[in-house]
Structure 1
Amino acid sequence: MTTVNAIETRPVRPLFFSYLYPAMVGMLLMSVNILVDGIFVSRGVGATALAGVNIAVPIFSILLSISLWIGMGGATLFSISLGEGNRKRAHQIFTLSFIMMIGIVATIVVLLLMNLKEVAYIFGADHTTYPYVQQYLYIILLFGLFYTIENLLSIFIRNDGSPKLAMMGLITTSVLNIIFNYIFIFMLNYGVKGCALATALSTIIGMLVLFLHFFNPKSELKFVRHFFAFSDMKRIVTVGFPSFIVEASMAAIIILYNITFLHYLGSNGVTAYAMVNYIHAVLLTVFLGIGMALQPLVSYHHGARLTKRLVALLKIGVKTAVILGLLTAIIAMLFPSQLIGLFGNKSTAEVQLMAIQGFAQFAIGYIFLGVNMVFAEFFQSIEKIRLATIIMLLRSFILFIPVLLLLPQAFGTQAIWWTFPVVEGLTALLIAIFIGVRRKTLFGINF
């Protein structure tokens, strides 16, 4: 039985979970790389270095946003083409997506390297943190192309019916990142530079693992000579735009949070937020993993016009998101001190207490986050790009910016932590209202 036939005939629930576990593990390990960087820097270099690395972390969101923009846009069209039985077009979409991403990322990296100091201060650096921001940013940018290639390949490999290989590539990267961090920071005393080198080298090796997929005789990931079509390029950019918003907005959100905490609570507030944000980056990928599992299945079923199975996938995705959201919020609210404690004792008691109290309130947002991400990913996968884009803009800019500005002014500095749960809750409410009004007409059948 081929992969294509298995997708169409296998019961929906086991099919979904066969994609969910590798996707969640893969995305979780991707974010663990950033968390590991934070833990090693905090324990091996110090709190100021941790704040500096956190200020530089948006560079990952920028690079990932490009790879997701092109990767998710291209992979969605790739799976739809396979669902329609058009293998030739699927090969053309893959080739075009790969070439597009390399060109865009290379251009961005060169521009950022040419203006590194200005970029660091835009991210939120000051005279104290700048040396650490500069060291970390420089190395990550030099190797940034490999990071985006690994992300793009993992997306397409998952869409090509090999979610376990996509997971193995990211496992390799994660394990090696831990080993290299220990060697470079604790054994060689390279400091923040060592942390960045560990990330870069582990990413390159993980990328090489993913290239094994091209030796699979059943692989539909094939580079072809005649691939360029402006209409396909436009569709890739259009379909992938909601994924770009997810990651690009994360970079903007981190920068806005850093500026807000610096304004109200000084460098201690930035360091406390750095601790919370590292944990949040890991937990966020749990919910991104649900969307990553849904996308190839939904896109394929959309292309094959299997509407009932499509709606069944949405229901399973929403239920999974609700359960995981509640569990994540409860664990985070019950054990904030244990999670914050991962960053060691080099931070002052005041900073740790600030982070612990803040995270217990911040974590309420996970109850709503998963549902928002599932609906956005679902709409994107069936090419309802306007709906997916609206959801992402609501939770990232339209609601986030005014709530972040107003809450601390109205309720004091502690209310900065409330921004995430308030914004995600409002977004989920608006989605529920929309679905309630349109549920009988949105897909042509009741659901």
Structure 2
Amino acid sequence: MMTTMNVIETRPLKPLFLSYLFPAMIGMVLMSINILVDGIFVSHGVGPTALAGVNIAVPIFSILLSISLWIGMGGATLYSIALGQNNVERAHRIFTLSFFAMIAVVVVLIISLLFNLQSIAYLFGANDSTYPYVKEYLYIILLFGIFYTIENMLSIFIRNDGNPKLAMIGLITTSILNIVLNYLFIFVLDYGVTGCALATVISTMTGAAVLCLHFFRKQSQLKFVRKFFNWADVKSIFAIGLPSFIVEASVAVIVILFNVTFLHYLGDDGVTAYAMVNYIHTVLLMMFYGIGMALQPIVSYHYGAKLMNRVTALLKIGITTALILGFVIVFAAMLFPTQIIAVFGDNTTEIREMASRGFVQFAIGYLFLGINMVFAEFFQSIEKTRLASLIMLLRSILLFVPALIVLPIVFGANAIWWTFPVAESITALLILYYVKKNPKTISS
């Protein structure tokens, strides 16, 4: 039988990478578009204050996604390494352990958040005008949040099991249904923000159901087994998946800190302007994350099979892809900022102009984001977790927080937009310097 392992090991690298890249990138973009769609429909159908409220609640997606990525990517890396070593039984145990570990963590987290909903909302940046919308949206998302994490984990493992197209189809199903239901619930039934949340929940559950079709595939290696628990494997899953957790958890932290900072310097208009840019950023960030998602299964497999020449070549392909994407985004932002921001139509001229100017400055960071994301995903895929975690901490906390504090104090409120490019560019330079001084890091 021609297994997934045979295909990965023998196929030329560029076609192999592309066969994973497009489904992964489309899938990740569609996942983020679900959030973007929520923003567009709420902006046009409910109003700018509701948009700000939903944006304030958006970090909950990052929190839930961070858990599923933490355990999912950690488990999937071990899963693909096991397949590369031709140890199918271990792959089964890793998948089962990852799935049930994630369920346990997410259930405890959701219960804790539901019992502290008001405190969480104000911590995220809500005020008296936005809190009713935050509460309305957040309650429903949390109540059914387990399905969001299940869908994401299944898509990760299905991609690692050699079926990236089904992972993409599941997320396409979610995205299309979310658009249809948002229109129905907001514009036809006038359910407001509640309708937006219901659309997200129902579409996610349907997408997860589509992904379950993979278990009926003859070539599938994904199987639940009874004997799966092992403390050493638990520790390895959480350790290897830590960089993925950091990148997504930091998204939540970044949005909260940006909301608080914009509110302090520019008031509610600043928060709404940032909300527009952040919805677009969420889509673009997922495109870069999609490059890493495409690299991870094939890099981890080749690493397990000790094919290091192909591992190094895959890194170069990933970096080149990320740089091309970064330049395309920067040029588009510089040429069409007003048109991009115009998708959020029901706002004042001042808010739209603030968002358009801010996006041009903010977009410079995409030139460097791809380098950081690809290197972090690469190091994670070959079990060099400390390096991957350090990259994510540099770009999201260690450099970002000081820049967010200092830039508006020194250069004025407008400089808040420069926080992202400053943190990403310094991180990229440090990575390139380190790799130049330690070339064996990427070849052994």
* TM-score between the two structures when normalised by the length of structure 2: 0.99
1:48-72 deviation per Cα after TM superposition (whole angstroms, max 9, x unaligned): 0000000000000000000000000
Partner of 1:101: 102
Partner of 1:409: 409
Deviation at 1:3, TM superposition (A): 1.4
SS in 2 for 1:125: coil
Deviation at 1:431, TM superposition (A): 0.5
Output the CA distance in 1 between the equivalents of 2:442 and 2:18. Answer: 23
SS in 2 for 1:127: coil
| Root mean square deviation of aligned Cα | 0.6
Output the CA distance in 1 between the equivalents of 2:223 and 2:34. Answer: 29
The answer as to 2:317 corresponding to 1:316 is: yes
Letter in 2 for 1:39: I
Partner of 1:212: 213
Partner of 2:203: 202
Unaligned runs of 5+ in 2: none
Deviation at 1:292, TM superposition (A): 0.2
Letter in 1 for 2:433: I
Deviation at 1:332, TM superposition (A): 1.5
- Mapping of residues 25-424 of structure 1, within 5 Å: 25-344=26-345, 346-424=346-424
Output the CA distance in 1 between the equivalents of 2:223 and 2:179. Answer: 33
Deviation at 1:444, TM superposition (A): 4.6
Partner of 1:10: 11
Output the CA distance in 2 between the equivalents of 1:131 and 1:252. Answer: 22
SS in 2 for 1:225: coil
- Percent pairwise identity: 68
Shift of the 6–133 alpha-carbon distance from structure 1 to 2, 3 Å rule, reads: same
Output the CA distance in 2 between the equivalents of 1:220 and 1:122. Answer: 43
Output the CA distance in 2 between the equivalents of 1:343 and 1:89. Answer: 49
Deviation at 1:329, TM superposition (A): 1.2
Letter in 2 for 1:3: T
The answer as to 2:407 corresponding to 1:431 is: no
Deviation at 1:324, TM superposition (A): 0.6
1:273-328 deviation per Cα after TM superposition (whole angstroms, max 9, x unaligned): 00000000001111000000000000000000000000010010000011111111
Deviation at 1:14, TM superposition (A): 0.5
The count of residues paired between Structure 1 and Structure 2 equals 443
Output the CA distance in 1 between the equivalents of 2:212 and 2:417. Answer: 42
Deviation at 1:150, TM superposition (A): 0.1
Output the CA distance in 1 between the equivalents of 2:441 and 2:354. Answer: 45
Output the CA distance in 2 between the equivalents of 1:444 and 1:58. Answer: 37
Letter in 1 for 2:205: I
Contact 2:309 2:443 in 1 (8 A): no
* TM-score between the two structures when normalised by the length of structure 1: 0.99
Output the CA distance in 1 between the equivalents of 2:66 and 2:347. Answer: 31
Deviation at 1:361, TM superposition (A): 0.5
Letter in 2 for 1:371: I
Output the CA distance in 1 between the equivalents of 2:385 and 2:8. Answer: 24
Deviation at 1:2, TM superposition (A): 1.9
